[in-house]
Amino acid sequence: MKISFRGDYALKAILDLALHYNKGLVRIQEIAERQDIPIKYLEQILLALKGAGYLNSQRGAKGGYYLAKDPKKIKLGEIIRLMEGPISPITCVSKSCYKRCTEETKCVFRPLWNKIRSLTEGVVDKVSFADMCRDYEAKNKKKLDMYYI
Amino acid sequence: MKISFRGDYALKAILDLALHYNKGLVRIQEIAERQDIPIKYLEQILLALKGAGYLNSQRGAKGGYYLAKDPKKIKLGEIIRLMEGPISPITCVSKSCYKRCTEETKCVFRPLWNKIRSLTEGVVDKVSFADMCRDYEAKNKKKLDMYYI
DNA sequence: TAATTCTCTACTTAGTTGATAGAGTTAATA
DNA sequence: TATTAACTCTATCAACTAAGTAGAGAATTA
C-alpha cells in the first residue's frame, strides 16, 4: 500500500471533521487552512467522500460539511481503499486484476504479498477515527502540560 | 509499499538466476522467456541489478548473467528497495523526505505508517531467495507428484 | 571474420497525480 | 428580492512516472 497526497488529504479531512463531530457544520475553507490542503483540490476530495456516504453537507450561507457517521465506526482502511484502491503490494492479489500472474500457481511470491496485505489490513482496519481523535487530543494535552507544569 | 512491474520483473529475474546458481551463465533471452518479461526491458533491469552488485555478466558468444551472491544472502527487501525505493506507506516516514509532515509532532497518523512499514520489513527482510527457491521447488515437486501418484 | 551476447543511450506513449479555473446551484438573510 | 456565502460540477493542465521500444556499440568465441 502507498498513500498519495489525495489519500493523505482525505484522512486529514475526515480527522478534522471527526474532531468536530456533532458540533455543527465545518466550511471547506476551515479544513483547508487547518490541514494545509489546497482548497480546490480538497473540494473534489470532500465530494468523493460525500459520494461514498461518509459526509453530508449543506449548501449556501452558513453551509458546510459534517461527518455522516460516528467516528468510532469509520476505520482508516475504508478511507484508504476508497482513495487509493485495494490494499495490496501487488495488484494481482486483489480480485479485480487479471493481468499478472495468470498462472497463479506458478507465482512463488504471491503468498508473501498476501501476508503483507493481511498485516497491513490488520492495522488500518482496526483503527478508527475515534482512536485518532483520542491520540490527537492526548498529544495536544501533553503539549499543554509542557507549558503548565 | 507497492510493487510495480519493474520490481516484479527484478524479483523474478533474481529468482531465475538463483535457481541456476553455480550452474553457469544464463542468457537474458532465457530469463525473458521463462519469466515472460519483455526482453529489452529486462536488459535494463539486469543492468541495474548488476550495477548494484547482485549480478555479474560475461559478454559475447556463450555469455550471460549469473548471480554474484549466495541466494541465502539476498533478501527480497534489498531488491524491492533497490527497484521501488523506501518501504513505507507514506514517503515522509523515510528519512529522505522533507516535504510532508514538516511539523511531524502534529501528524497523528505517522505511528501507523511506521507500524505498517516495520511489519512489511519484517516480511521482506526475513525471506531470502534461497527460501524462494525452496518454495519453488517444493511447488514443482508437488505438481510432479500429481502426475506420478 | 562472423555470430553472439551484453551495454548504453535515447526515445516514446499512455496514464496518473496534483492541482487550478470558472461557471453553476442552493440557502440564509438584510 | 437581491446579495452574499457556500457547496457542486466539469474541464483543463503541467509535470511526472511507468513500461516499453529502438538501435548502435563493445566484447567474446569459434
Q: What is the pLDDT of residue A141?
A: 81
Q: What is the pLDDT of residue A93?
A: 44
Distance CA B68 to C1' D19 in A = 27
From the list B74, B87, B49, B81, the residue with the least C-alpha distance to B129 is B74
Proportion of chain B in helix, strand, coil states, percent, rounded to 5: 60, 5, 35
A3-8 contacts at long range (C-beta below 8 A, 24 or more positions apart): A3/A80, A3/A84, A3/B89, A3/B90, A3/B113, A4/A83, A4/A84, A5/B100, A6/A45, A6/A83, A6/A84, A7/A79, A7/A80, A7/A83, A7/A84, A8/B90, A8/B100, A8/B109
**Phi, psi of B29, rounded to the nearest 5 degrees:** -60, -40
Task: Give dist(CA B32, CA A15) in Å, integer.
Answer: 47
pLDDT at A19 over 70: yes
pLDDT at A40 over 60: yes
Residue-wise pLDDT for B68-111, tens only, equals 999 999 999 999 999 999 998 886 544 434 445 545 557 899 99
* Cβ-based contacts of B139 with chain A (< 8 Å): 105, 108
Q: Which three cell numbers stand for residue B97?
A: 523526505
Task: Give dist(CA A99, CA A81) in Å, integer.
Answer: 20
pLDDT at A24 over 50: yes
- Mean residue pLDDT of chain A comes to 90
Q: Which three cell numbers stand for residue A122?
A: 490488520
Closest residue in A to B121 (Cα) is A116
Q: What is the pLDDT of residue A75?
A: 98
* Cβ-based contacts of A138 with chain B (< 8 Å): none
Q: Is the CB of B44 under 7 A from strand D?
A: yes
Closest residue in B to A126 (Cα) is B112
Q: What is the pLDDT of residue B90?
A: 82
Paired residues of B55 in beta bridges: B67
Mean pLDDT over residues A35-47, rounded?
Answer: 97
Q: What angle do CA A14, A89, B97 make, to 5 degrees?
A: 65
List, in sequence order, the alpha helices (H) in A1-148.
Answer: 5-19, 28-35, 39-51, 76-84, 110-124, 129-148
Q: What is the pLDDT of residue B1?
A: 80
pLDDT band at A146 (very low <50, low <70, confident <90, very high): low
Strand A55-58 relative to strand A64-67: parallel, antiparallel, unpaired?
Answer: antiparallel
pLDDT at A98 over 50: no
Complete domains list, chain A, with CATH: 5-148 (1.10.10.10)
Residue with CA nearest C1' of nucleotide C16: A4
From the list A85, A72, A60, the residue with the least C-alpha distance to A7 is A85
Nearest DNA or RNA nucleotide to B60 (CA to C1'): D28
Is residue A51 exposed (0-12), middle (13-18) or buried (19+ Cβ within 10 Å)?
exposed
Nearest DNA or RNA nucleotide to B59 (CA to C1'): C6
Q: Which three cell numbers stand for residue A102?
A: 495468470
Paired residues of A64 in beta bridges: A58
Closest residue in A to B131 (Cα) is A108
Task: Give dist(CA B145, CA A130) in Å, integer.
Answer: 53
Residue with CA nearest C1' of nucleotide C2: B61
pLDDT at A114 over 50: yes
pLDDT at A64 over 50: yes
Q: Is A24 left (phi over 0), alpha (psi -120 to 50) or beta?
A: left
pLDDT at A85 over 60: yes
Q: What is the pLDDT of residue B97?
A: 45
**Mean pLDDT (10-residue bins), chain B, 149 residues:** 94 98 98 97 98 98 98 98 93 47 70 96 98 94 68
